[in-house]
């Protein structure tokens, strides 16, 4: 990159300058030499825009509306406009560490008048970077574990339904169940393996049973949905996982597909149809809200606490669902719901999307704090005693953030756990 303005001969400054009686000597009258067009690197913008999915990168006209809403910029120095400017002045995004900081939260797209779509751009460039071998080590490990074990946690496929042994209610596994069900529940990787995810899964099982839902799970036949891996650049791995899951979905008879997490919702509603999957899906909050009249009388025990809700990017901005989680929270007696300043359409990001779930060590060199830590501080500032979530990525992220920021008093609970507590006392 040409040093340009850093050169001494590119700066004009009069030692003595008095204009209309005002002394503007020294740096006050500093002028910079005009930049010439050949000092820019349009070929690095074209390198991104020439990729399928990367076209809109070239549409940026640097209005910078994206910067104030970018969650990464709030803890660092980031945003689409800044990435465009970097490419314009010599940074090859394919080889830059900046490539991996975007969480694909879509808040920039919400305000962009030119529809510069980072949700399409980043996976496109990352896919090429993956092919070139330019991948952060911890992300590469998540890819390898997913390919080998069917999940990014590196846990055995046979153990995917082991959590059901802890359940005090029946959790039918389709292969053993041997009959059609009304609801096929796609549990997901973190609710199947992670201790705090399992807590939410057990709560969901109790709620489904209490409501009399005829449901079943795939258990060992279920693999990770793969959408976050796709957004992180591993499209081949995504297709492999998708083809397996679609075959399992088609193997059994069911009416409604219910998912625990927003990322699975995104996969099944937006990406799997491109591979031939023609059934819709519901996030569990959307499903349970349909049964709210039946559920409300079961919520007999008060939870006297101030709660605030964190909108998951992939449930809110990506799928437009803001009300279902809040309706469930308001149905719990005793809970007082307070909204944080950044909520609903302008909700903040936990940092886990777009591969960020597996890049905490990498991103700490580029930010002043984790996005999850920033969000915990906001929840505490609004007087919340409970931070409610409905994405399996978020419980562990926010609990770690509460500890690292010295806010252990803040409880982080999935909405499933809160409903279950109110039902059981």
Q: Is residue 84 part of a domain?
A: yes
Q: Are residues 222 and 329 in the same domain?
A: no
Q: Are residues 63 and 17 in the same domain?
A: no
Whether the Cβ atoms of residue 366 and residue 390 lie closer than 8 Å to each other: no
Q: Are residues 84 and 186 in the same domain?
A: no
Q: How many independent structural domains does the chain possess?
A: 4
Q: Is residue 137 part of a domain?
A: no
Q: Are residues 349 and 231 in the same domain?
A: no
Flag whether the pTM goes above 0.75. Answer: yes
Average pLDDT over residues 239-246: 98
Q: Is residue 200 part of a domain?
A: yes
Q: Is residue 315 part of a domain?
A: yes
Q: Are residues 29 and 89 in the same domain?
A: no
Whole-number pLDDT of residue 6? 44
Strand blocks (E) in 167-253: 181-186, 215-217
Give percent of the chain above pLDDT 90.
90
pLDDT in tens, 105-164: 999 999 999 999 999 999 999 999 999 999 999 999 999 999 999 999 999 999 999 999
Q: Is residue 396 part of a domain?
A: yes
Q: Are residues 58 and 165 in the same domain?
A: no
Q: Write out the two tokens for 416.
A: 């499933």
CA gap 14, 32 in Å, rounded = 12
Q: Is residue 346 part of a domain?
A: yes
Q: Are residues 166 and 49 in the same domain?
A: no
Domain that holds residue 346: 295-424
Q: Are residues 284 and 318 in the same domain?
A: no
Looking at 225, 257, 289, which one is the last position of a domain? 289
Whole-number pLDDT of residue 246? 98
Domain of 398: which CATH number? 3.40.50
Looking at 105, 132, 159, which one is the last position of a domain? 132
Sign, CA torsion 238/281/392/213: negative
Q: Are residues 158 and 276 in the same domain?
A: yes
pLDDT in tens, 171-224: 999 999 989 999 999 999 999 999 999 999 999 999 999 999 999 999 999 999
Whether the Cβ atoms of residue 117 and residue 317 lie closer than 8 Å to each other: no
Per the document, the length of the chain is 425
By CB atoms closer than 10 A (0-12, 13-18, 19+), residue 184 is: buried
pLDDT in tens, 410-422: 999 999 999 999 9
Q: Are residues 169 and 235 in the same domain?
A: yes
Average pLDDT over residues 269-283: 96
CA gap 204, 206 in Å, rounded = 5
Q: Are residues 268 and 304 in the same domain?
A: no
Whole-number pLDDT of residue 37? 65
Q: Is residue 325 part of a domain?
A: yes
Q: What is the DSSP letter of 361?
A: H
Looking at 89, 105, 132, which one is the last position of a domain? 132
Q: Is residue 145 part of a domain?
A: no
Q: Are residues 279 and 369 in the same domain?
A: no
Domain of 256: which CATH number? 3.40.50.1860
């Amino acid at each position: 990159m040409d040093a340009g303005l850093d050169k001494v001969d590119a700066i004009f400054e009069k030692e003595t300058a008095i204009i209309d009686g005002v002394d503007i000597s020294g740096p006050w009258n500093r002028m910079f030499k005009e930049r010439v067009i050949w000092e820019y690197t349009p070929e690095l913008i074209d390198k991104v825009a020439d990729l399928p999915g990367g076209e809109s990168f070239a549409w940026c006209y640097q209005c910078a509306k994206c910067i104030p809403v970018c969650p990464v910029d709030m803890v660092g120095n980031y945003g689409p406009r800044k990435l465009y400017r970097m490419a314009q002045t010599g940074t090859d995004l394919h080889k830059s560490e900046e490539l991996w900081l975007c969480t694909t939260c879509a808040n920039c797209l919400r305000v962009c008048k030119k529809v510069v779509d980072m949700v399409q751009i980043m996976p496109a460039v990352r896919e090429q970077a993956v092919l070139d071998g330019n991948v952060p080590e911890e992300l590469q490990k998540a890819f390898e574990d997913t390919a080998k074990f069917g999940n990014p946690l590196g846990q055995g496929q046979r153990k995917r339904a082991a959590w059901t042994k802890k359940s005090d209610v029946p959790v039918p596994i389709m292969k053993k169940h041997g009959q059609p069900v009304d609801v096929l529940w796609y549990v997901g990787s973190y609710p199947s393996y992670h201790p705090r995810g399992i807590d939410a899964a057990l709560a969901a099982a109790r709620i489904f049973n209490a409501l009399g839902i005829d449901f079943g799970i795939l258990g060992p036949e279920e693999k990770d949905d793969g959408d976050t891996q796709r957004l992180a650049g591993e499209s081949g791995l995504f297709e492999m996982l998708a083809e397996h899951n679609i075959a399992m979905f088609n193997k059994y008879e069911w009416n409604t597909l219910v998912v625990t997490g927003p990322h699975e919702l995104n996969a099944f509603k937006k990406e799997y149809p491109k591979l031939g999957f023609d059934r819709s899906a519901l996030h569990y909050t959307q499903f349970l809200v349909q049964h709210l009249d039946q559920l409300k009388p079961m919520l007999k025990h008060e939870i006297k606490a101030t709660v605030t809700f964190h909108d998951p990017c992939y449930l809110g901005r990506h799928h437009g669902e803001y009300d279902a989680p809040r309706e469930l929270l308001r149905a719990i007696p005793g809970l007082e719901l307070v909204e944080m300043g950044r909520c609903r359409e302008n909700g903040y990001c936990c940092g886990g999307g777009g591969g960020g779930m597996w890049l905490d060590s990498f991103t700490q060199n580029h930010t002043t704090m984790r996005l999850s830590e920033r969000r915990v501080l906001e929840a505490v500032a609004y007087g919340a005693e409970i931070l409610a979530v409905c994405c399996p990525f978020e419980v562990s992220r926010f609990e770690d953030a509460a500890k690292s920021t010295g806010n252990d008093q803040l409880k982080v609970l999935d909405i499933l756990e809160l409903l279950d507590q109110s039902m059981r006392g």
